[in-house]
Homo-oligomer: A and B are copies of this chain.
Amino acid sequence: MSTINDVALKAGVSVTTVSRVLNNRGYISEATRAKVYKTMEELNYQPNELARSLLRKQSNLIGLIIPSVAHPFFGELTNHIEYYAYQNGFKVLLCSSHMDPAKEKDYIAMLKRNRVDGIIMGSHTLEVEEYRNLNSPIVTFDRQIDNEIPFISSDNYQGGVLATELLISKGCRYIVHICGNLELKMLSNYRNDGFKDTAEKHGVRHITIQTDMNVFDQQQYEQIIQRMLETYPDVDGIFASSDIIAGFAVRECLGKGKRVPQDIRIVGYDDVNMASWFIPGITTIKQPTEAIGRLAVELIQQQLNGESFEPDNILPVELIERSTS
């Protein structure tokens, strides 16, 4: 790889001059500018960002830690984050924790070693303390660390309310919420609060079933749903905390000879693309994935610029009715 020196030499100018055209500062004649660009072209020169970052103390790198990009929700979220990062001159370093605390810790250290300008945390297997004192701009998704660190989440409580109201309005009298582990202090737990409050308000029987915190575990989902269907055969409404779980619920119900939505109604969460591809299409609570992605990048940028920012970002959800309700 050629260096700025090679360019200067070949173009017959000083490195300072090349640096000046590269960074658009000081006086440069059009002729010199053109000559330098031409030489860079000829030498196939690309300024070394490692050296630049080292000097500037800014890498334009954003670290993104998520459970897995193979999960449709995180895949779509990552897609939007990557898009807006690129728009704002950032590159994204992808880290999949696979819900392994050791790996997550490792990744955080790695990101610090690489001097990322900020970290977007979509995976939360560590204790809250571990995330403090990272002294790097952070944005958190679906988890509140403290008042200093901004978080983004969808309006989980409202999502729970909307889903539950729908089930009840359609006539469900015995509803279940299948969600992640409530021990983890995730903001998504509010979905369960919305669910319970609404069910109680309407005097509807309700139970909550927690899954382990595995990202994807087809077997576990199937088992939990089967057991639930056996233990509570009278359930006539399911609010699942992801469209994938909802999909499995549909599958198991149909397998058990229950008609959806006539015998049992099912509402998911997320509104991943897949939710509309399923047959029947899954009724769900839409998270504004694109807005979340955009905001995440913005919040990093704002912290970087020393601007003030909103620490609590709860984005609106929307009920999308399809065929499972």
Interface residues of chain A, those whose CB is within 8 Å of chain B, are 1, 44, 46-51, 53-54, 59, 64, 68-72, 75-76, 78-79, 82-83, 86, 91-96, 98, 103, 109-110, 112-115, 133, 135, 216, 218, 244, 247-248, 250-251, 254, 273-274, 276-279
Contact = CB atoms under 8 A, between A and B. Distances in A.
Contacts of A46: 109, 112-113
A218 to B, nearest CB: 8
A1 B115 contact: yes
30 contacts: A1-B112, A44-B133, A47-B113, A48-B115, A50-B53, A50-B114, A51-B54, A54-B54, A64-B94, A69-B75, A69-B79, A70-B76, A70-B78, A70-B273, A71-B75, A72-B72, A72-B75, A75-B75, A78-B94, A86-B95, A86-B103, A91-B93, A92-B93, A216-B273, A244-B277, A250-B279, A251-B277, A251-B279, A274-B274, A274-B277
Nearest to A64: B94
A277 to B, nearest CB: 5
A322 to B, nearest CB: 12
Contact of A82 (B51, B69, B250): B69
A97 to B, nearest CB: 10
Contacts of A59: 50
A93 to B, nearest CB: 6
